[in-house]
Amino acid sequence: MILAVSTLKNPSSPADGYRGRFAPSPTGPLHAGSLLTALGSWLDARKNGGKWLLRIEDLDSPRCIPGAERHIQAQLLACGLSWDEELSFQSERQGLYQQALERLNELKLLYPCTCSRQDIASTLAKLGVLTPRNQEMVYPGTCRPNQSEIYSPELLKTSKVAWRLALPQDCHIEFKDLALGPQSQDLDKEVGDFILRRNDGVFTYQLAVVVDDAKQGITHIVRGEDLLSNTARQIHLQKILGYRTPQYLHLPLVLDEHGEKLSKQTLATQINTQDDKQSLAELRKAAQHLGLRNLPDGENITIAEWLLAATRAWKGE
Ligand code: GLU
Ligand code: ZN
């Protein structure tokens, strides 16, 4: 009985066991990099006797490609990576993100911002702050009010401005990555007050992912190393929203011949899952990148058999 009550209160209580997820954005079909993330998170969940959920992160609709989510599902199934529970779509969960935003508003932690990227760049230039290429600009706090306040929920829903989270001074976040060891970030100095809702009304990845991981009771997040620098922001949000912090494990990236991360932007080619033989070849490449050794390499093995061997070989933590 006590167990049932605590489970109800906190969906990610350890009593539920391991819950992992794969959360692709449907901006195109799976490529070698996203298959690696799918495989790594699937193996970690299976090794731990856990559940593996599939969540389609389709909030940024201009970047989403119609039909990509179907394509991704078909590719996963062709590779034997089946998911538990019902597939979820972030576009159908916006009420939850709005609720979280309202909670932060009640805590007087939000403020509206009208700065363009250009405004931020010129403010930083005036301050003599240089942003290295490929790095996000640290928001200099231009629109932050002297006195925090609660805004009307209506304004929060309808205004055409961005909403930022006010960070405390010395917002130092530490966590231990299961693959990479101890990590830390000074959010106020390295990131600045970050956006939770964009001026076009779209909830940002940081807010949506934190709400979903908590509401879906995710205990373990296994994803690509390119997302490592977002983790401290997400942990900070979890803390203020009263959510549990899951375990994190960041996987090595697959780089192209120029040393760039594979992505739709670099026109990474989709994996070939035309038949079982091709799918198995893609899985084998991903496993090699993950550092899995001594897997059966024969021709006459089924995908299910190979995945079983890979699960045995997977160390995770
Ligand atoms: N949707 C994100 C992406 O495709 C991944 C989110 C996550 O795993 O936290 O890059
Ligand atoms: Zn601003």
Dump the DSSP string for 239-305. Answer: HHHTPPP-EEEEEPPPB-TTSPBP-TTTTPPBP--SSHHHHHHHHHHHHHHTT--S----SS--HHH
Cα 227 to middle of ligand 1, angstroms:
7
Point out the ligand 1 atom lying closest to the alpha carbon of residue 24.
Answer: 4
In this structure, what DSSP letter does residue 97 have? H
Cα 24 to middle of ligand 1, angstroms:
5
Which-ligand-closest: CA of 166?
2
CB 111 within 8 A of CB 148: yes
* pLDDT, mean of each 10-residue run, the chain (317 residues): 38 68 96 96 97 97 94 98 98 97 98 95 91 87 96 94 97 97 97 97 97 98 97 98 98 80 70 97 96 92 97 83
**For a substitution probing ligand 1, which of 19, 21, 25 has the most ligand atoms within 8 Å of its CB?**
25
Cα 27 to middle of ligand 1, angstroms:
11
With a Cβ cut-off of 6 Å, ligand 1 is lined by 23-25, 57, 209, 223, 227
Residue of 193, 196, 183 lying closest to 99 (CA atoms): 196
**For a substitution probing ligand 1, which of 88, 203, 223, 233 has the most ligand atoms within 8 Å of its CB?**
223
DSSP per residue, 204-229: PHHHHHHHHHHHTT--EEEEEGGGGG
Distance CA 208, CA 61 (A): 14
276-289 and 32-47 helices, crossing angle to 10°:
80
Task: Count CA within 13 A, CB hemisphere, residue 80.
Answer: 22
The confidence score (pLDDT) of residue 3 equals 39
The 247-251 sheet, strands edge to edge? 181-186, 172-177, 247-251, 220-224
Residue of 94, 316, 82 lying closest to 221 (CA atoms): 316
Residue 163 token pair: 């909403």
**For a substitution probing ligand 1, which of 27, 227, 230, 254 has the most ligand atoms within 8 Å of its CB?**
227
The confidence score (pLDDT) of residue 193 equals 98
Cα 125 to middle of ligand 2, angstroms:
15
CB 181 within 8 A of CB 317: no
For residue 3, CA distances in Å to 8, 13, 15, 17, 249 come to: 9, 9, 8, 13, 28
Render the burial of 178-204: b for 16+ CB within 10 Å, e for the rest.
Answer: bbeeebebebbebbbbbbbbebeebbb
Q: Which residues contact residue 211 at a Cβ distance below 8 angstroms, ignoring those fewer than 6 apart?
A: 93, 96, 97, 100, 241
Cα 258 to middle of ligand 2, angstroms:
36
Q: Which residues pair with 186 in a beta bridge?
A: 172
Residue 278 token pair: 């091709």
The confidence score (pLDDT) of residue 44 equals 98
